Structure 1
Amino acid sequence: MSKVFVLDTEKRPLDPIHSAQARQLLRNKKAAVFRRFPFTIILKESRADASVSDLRIKLDPGAKITGIALVNDSTGEVVFAADLKHRGFAIRDALISRRQLRRTRRNRKTRYRKPRFLNRTRSEGWLAPSLMSRVHNVETWVNRLRKFAPITAISTELVKFDMQLMRNPEIEGKEYQQGTLAGYETREFLLEKWNRQCAYCGIKDIPLQIEHIHSRSKGGSNSITNLTLSCEKCNVKKGTKDIKDFLKKDPTRLQKILAQAKKPLADAAAVNATRYKLLEVLKSTDLPVECGSGGLTKFNRTNQQLQKTHWLDAACVGQSTPILIIKGIKPLLITANGHGTRQMCRTDKFGFPNRYVPKLKFIKGFQTGDIVKAVVTNGKKIGEYIGRVAVRSTGSFNISAQRGLIQGINYKFCKSIHKKDGYSYSS
């Protein structure tokens, strides 16, 4: 598992330590738990042997999941890893739903309402809320980890795919675009676009070849819209045949391939739309920021024969990547859930109010979303429960524990172990 973060008596970050050392310090009452996620302890007295080594935080921004890794550049050791799951698409769906409800209200037989589409101006560099949420998630965790670890540098993947390089492999001015690395840009784009499987038979987890949908001998181009992935068997079988002749017995797959070839990569578009905003946010931390491409990340990962995961991609970002030591690392899985909603009235699917929400969020010092530990000593529900709490104004709470939903737990049995922060965690 990842190492445990340590703070000194002044809440300054020290070198992360092994979990066994942390348990020993807690057992001997030389330290206390400062935070549960990520697990952090704080020393009760100063230590003369406390050391501080510079760490680099490395990011692999994604549309759905961003990989995070803390790497010691001098030793190559990965001391912490996490996969941060965004809620951008959930925000988009919520905005679409709200817009539809608003439009239905306008179409009812009510008084005339003047259109309001010109009274809201957008500032320069404005991004949609679904995109900005990704930037805010990464910013939150960079700032949070800086409080718990001695981070002195940042590495991030600025571009997933270098479109200029794919159009013109002879482009100059970037060192990483020369030599064997150039092919990784096109191949990585196609792997993402075609879901890492053969377009013709759907087979996965085998070596795939780049294949021309319309063959070069029949006038097909090298454009990225004319390329797909194929297993060796299908590639040989298709040869120089026209794709319509090759798939005439499977018209459904034919239409799917032709549509997918023209379809832009939605996830890549989301990453590209936010990349410079994220870079601007990272530079505002006043730490040196190193940028790399997706092709370079794959090149580093392939050279070290590492698996394809989000946090390992993050560890392989940039030219500064050393020989990595990843033994025993288990990433923390972080999911962005948001902080709820301001709506005081909930509606059904038709937009009519069906229930109301109390104004008070905090009940007896707890709010919905807190992680609590409940030790019930009497009654029908005797036992120990750990999970997220849903509060009620009566003081009788529900706890979503690992064994299921436990209802009717009195607040007096509950003790908060992690306050609601907009994220959920699992290992």
Structure 2
Amino acid sequence: MSLFDVDLGFGRTWSRVGDSYAVTKKPRGLDVGAVAEVPFSAMEAIPQGGAYDPSFTMRSPQAITSGTYFECGDVLVAKITPSFENGKQALARILPGPFGYATTEVIPLHPSKPGHDPRLLFFYLLHPDVRHHVAERMEGSTGRQRVPEGVLLDLPIPEIEPDDQSAIANALETIHAAAAAELNAEQNASTLKRTVMNALFTRGLRGEPLKETEIGPVPESWEVVPLGSLGKIGNGSTPKKTVPAYWNDGTFPWLTSAKVYDREIAVADQFVTDVALAECHLPRVQPGAVLMAITGQGKTLGHCAVLRIEASINQHIAYLQTNTERAEPGFIRGYLETQYEYLRQVASGGGSTKGALTCAFLRGLPIPLPPTLDEQREIVSVLDALDRKIDLHQQKRGVLEELFKALLHKLMTGEIAVSDLDLSALSMASTQPEEEATA
């Protein structure tokens, strides 16, 4: 049921945002040139997904030829597609001056009556039903649609007493802060992983002297070998979707490049039949293979995973059927992860609009190789520990984001009261130092 179809509890009624908020306008007679510098927030400075404060640069008044005037405490809402749908908005809590300017693609809102907490409006505008309601009322040509100010001011919002507004905002802020803390911890762990990976694949774990190679320094006992020397490299194909015999009641796993984000692939989402395997020349890739996405213009190209089941693949994936007596698949996947940006540069072909890697290129790709599987596995265990740490923060953040959405709906509609909640544990977790919160 949509938010706007809910029967509000506790005697609440619907009002309009415009009954309590107004669009901030530059005061008549304000001399902007009287200040030395003005904080300015471009569209990229407006956070996406509900972070509070915008970033800004300090500009001289003369350098601001256009923009939207706003003041401290304003809710800044991106009005152009797709920024609005993506939740680009900010609450300007702190400004290094009496006012600021933002991109013209922002609508600033401030309370027009006492007793209204702008944090509550900020959170309310993140509700998926609210975003959908407003997005349906955008105006303008396709691709350049904008939210009219009147649509925001006419937006239905539950009428809530001032004390309850602050209590609800406090509760949502607690969850919001805890999710932000998990995101920060996740980013810190990812940064740590990049640093560790760079050290592991250049210096190893044994403290050996280093030697210079075509890929840079590596431990003296390591080899640098072509990837193709570590197993067979090939790619797959896609059986015609119009042939039911290839798909109906299929039982053999078939993978698309979206699966490489899993890092270790243990389940499939799609299946083909034995007829497809026989007639479409699909490879039967065995467990232990390293898979890589080799086409695409988004972030997928260059991502790798280790296959833990027997499966086939489409033409957008290359596989290395790893010789596991010589190389640990997780080691290969880990090193290839460090080459992500390089692989994407190669795929772009110096400006090609349709990037792709070839199996021939991958066969010749140089890769460092420790002499023993034990050393390779020790490196993999370090990387796995870091990946588990990152995954834990991602999972916790996902739970908090779902909790935020559920409580936002229930608190705004009166289905539950703030007094029913105990968020003390979240409050303590969000204020812990990162090293304690992520221990």
Q: Which has the higher helix share?
A: 2
- What's the TM-score, normalizing by structure 1? 0.22
Q: Which has the higher strand share?
A: 1
TM-score, normalising length: structure 2:
0.22
